[in-house]
Structure 1
Amino acid sequence: MPETGPTHAPACAGPASANTVYHGDNLSVLSSLPEQSFTLIYVDPPFNTGRKQTRAQRTMVRAAEGEGDRTGFQGRAYNTELGTARSYHDTFDDYLSFIEPRLREAHRLLTEDGTLYVHLDYREVHYVKVLLDEIFGRDCFLNELIWAYDYGARAKNRWPAKHDTILVYVKNPKHYHFDSSAVDREPYMAPGLVTPEKRALGKLPTDVWWHTIVSPTGKEKTGYPTQKPEGILRRIITASSRPGDWVLDFFAGSGTTGAVAAKLDRQFVLVDQNPEAIDVMRSRLPESTAYTKA
């Protein structure tokens, strides 16, 4: 039966001597890591949007009276100045040929009780679902999570896209770690229909997660495009790993997986080939993190 609470896996050698960030091609890094090293693998690969993903760093500079392109508190004028832009290219002619060998490595690297989360959107998720069924087996499919948010797209000629999909697969459907009791509860959407005791406790999350994106003005913001909120990773890491377990993210981007893993007393390995991502992670992750050029 699947595990429904904390378990204690046999001690084994970790994939690294310390929390580690690899700067280089993820496929070559993955092939160098020992098999069955990670209890949890989360990846947020490029979505194949067909464009260059860029998020500009903007700052507000006080302007002379009567000048400036924005008006702020008490009518003061400000100029918006553009700083360094962080970006990466998100175009693939054959997406499945790109992602398949990396997902096969993910399968090899998972422990027997391990779980893989693959974060995608509508462009490629149905193709990747079929591919994961082939790699893991259909009986290893655990969940299709929907992360819904209300920001961004404002299409007028179709329903605006306001969700991502996270596919969840386990290495062994009869023996995997999942601890729902450790996950933060959320408010009932219809609190008047439940008892005061249940309202106070909150409900366990379902497979539809309502969570805001990273606020452009919030503390989490790094300026890296496609940065995912810590709340999403906190839920994933808490449910599908234990303190001390190793967590892998080989499309690490801004390093959210590592930042949350460290706060939750997990160990991590991150991989990214974008120098801008490495710069962001250096400023965000614990000082003890090791950085290796792959």
Structure 2
Amino acid sequence: MPLPAWTPDGPDLVIHAENLEAVRALPDGAFQLIYLDPPFNTGRTQERQNLTVTRTPDAEPHPAPGDADADTAPEPDPRPGDPDVAPALAPASTATPEPARPPGARFGFHGRSYDSVKGMLYGFDDSFADYWDFLEPRLIEAWRLLHPTGTLYLHLDYREVHYAKVVLDALFGRRSFLNEIVWAYDYGAKSRRRWPAKHDTILVYVKDPIRYRFDSAGVDREPYMAPGLVTPEKRERGKLPTDVWWHTIVSPTGREKTGYATQKPLGVLRRIVQASSGPGDWVLDFFAGSGTTGAAARELGRRFVLVDENPQAIEVMRARLDGDGTVFVAPDADPRAGKAGAEAPAKTKTKAKAKTKTKAKAKAKTPAETRSKVTTPATAEVRASSAPEPAPPTRPKPAPPPTAPPSG
């Protein structure tokens, strides 16, 4: 698939393509910030449905309990003093029966009715036969694309982040490791069989451990827990966040929602973009998903290139980022003719399909095997540039259909 030639003066790009193919067409050292949120290798399909709650326009409000109304006022006891007849109870006679609720309906204050409307179901397959054979060449490309003062953020969870630290140290050197950020949240279901997993981990590596950009003054600050113990100037400015970020996930019914299964909060990406890039700098995310990196970059005056193979992700990003000169690049088609892609079956998020098919029976590598495979940035880049492309799997030719016997 022909990809557009990227230039520093060109437009923001959203590329619908297999990401390894796409990033190999980009020049060395072009990006000040690279944020990667690859699939977490959970072993299951990630899905989320967009849910919108709207007030029913023609619904009559139901009277609240206790409203004065002649029709609902209690009638007097017809036979006072009769032991065989129980007197009428005021609470039972004045209570308003709850109206019947149609499917999807909700009731709010003063009996107002609301409808829950389910939108498009988005998802992707998050299961890999050999996760690190998939991810390692993409990390090597990310390092090649970083500006000499650039920063790489790799966002994973507890399943793979420990292996990622070993691989990144081997590829780029331990001196390039800057931070381990813990994004903590307390939302969603909780397990009763173990400590509930309520955090993700973001590994931060810099291209040059001596020269790199970190703008602490430009980051959104947090309020002090005890503002009376600091000076008015500090209280007004707020404190610099630590490496533990408390930020709720995107609610499926909140204003920020897009319906994409693994959408990350805009507040988390804003903090990353503010700290590690400046106005006009280029930001790259080639596991773009819902496009939150692009949304944060646009808000803060940065430029962006987003790549994703999933047509549903492209559909979400088109609704979120279209306009302001953003160019959408689709494979072998008019990029504005692909809305049917959101109705197609979910595809793996930038998954190397041909490679996975040929290795379906291969055993997953252990961390020790992974460590023995990686060496240094120089040898890794040589290996990435000189390795031949894997041949596509061949399929046996189907047998010719049986010939019908001649009619008698």
TM exceeds 0.5?
A: yes
Amino acid corresponding to residue 216 of structure 1 in structure 2: P
Q: Which residue of 2 aligns with 1:3?
A: none
Report the counterpart of residue 72 of structure 1 in structure 2. 107
Amino acid at match of 2:27: P
Instruction: Looking at secondary structure, tell me which structure has more strand per residue.
Output: 1
Matches within 5 A, 1:1-294: 14=7, 17-60=10-53, 66-69=100-103, 70-73=105-108, 74-76=110-112, 80-287=116-323, 288-294=325-331
Deviation sequence 1:3-51 (CA, Å, 0-9, x none)? xxxxxxxxxx845721001101000001111111100000111111111
- Alignment check: 8 A CA contact 1:68 1:78 kept: no
Tell me by how many angstroms 1:216 deviates.
2.5
State the aligned residue count.
282
**Counterparts of 1:274 and 1:141 in 2: how far apart (Å)?**
31
SS at 1:32 equivalent = coil
TM-score w.r.t. length of structure 1: 0.90
Structure 2 residue ranges without an equivalent (≥5): 1-5, 61-98, 332-408
AA of the residue aligned to 1:241? S
Counterpart of 1:293 in structure 2: which amino acid? A
Contact map agreement 2:52 2:253 (CA 8 A) in 1: no
Moved more, 144-153 or 185-194: 185-194
Residues of 1 paired with 2:185 and 2:292: CA distance?
18
State the one-letter code of the partner of 1:85. Answer: L
Equivalent position SS for 2:24: helix
CA distance in structure 2 between the aligned counterparts of 1:32 and 1:81, rounded to whole angstroms: 42
Q: Are the structure 2 counterparts of residues 16 and 106 from structure 1 closer, same or farther at C-alpha, using a change threshold of 3 Å?
A: farther
Counterparts of 1:144 and 1:189 in 2: how far apart (Å)? 23
CA contact under 8 A between 1:67 and 1:78: conserved in structure 2? no
Query: Does structure 2 conserve the Cα–Cα contact (< 8 Å) formed by 1:141 and 1:169?
Result: yes
**Residue deviations 1:41-98 (CA, integer Å, cap 9, x gap):** 0011111111111111234575995132443123356664533201111001211111
CA distance in 2, matches of 1:190, 1:124: 37
> What do residues 120-165 of structure 1 show as CA deviations (whole Å, max 9, x unaligned)?
1100000011111111110000000011111023111211111110
Measured on the aligned residues, the alpha-carbon RMSD in Å equals 2.0
TM-score by length of 2: 0.66
Q: Which runs of 4+ in 1 moved over 6 A?
A: none
Q: Secondary structure at the match of 2:142?
A: helix
Identity across matched positions, percent: 63
Ranges in structure 1 where 5+ consecutive residues have no aligned partner: 1-12
Match of 1:6 in 2: none
In structure 2, do the counterparts of structure 1 residues 194 and 153 end up closer, same or farther at CA, with 3 Å as the change threshold?
farther
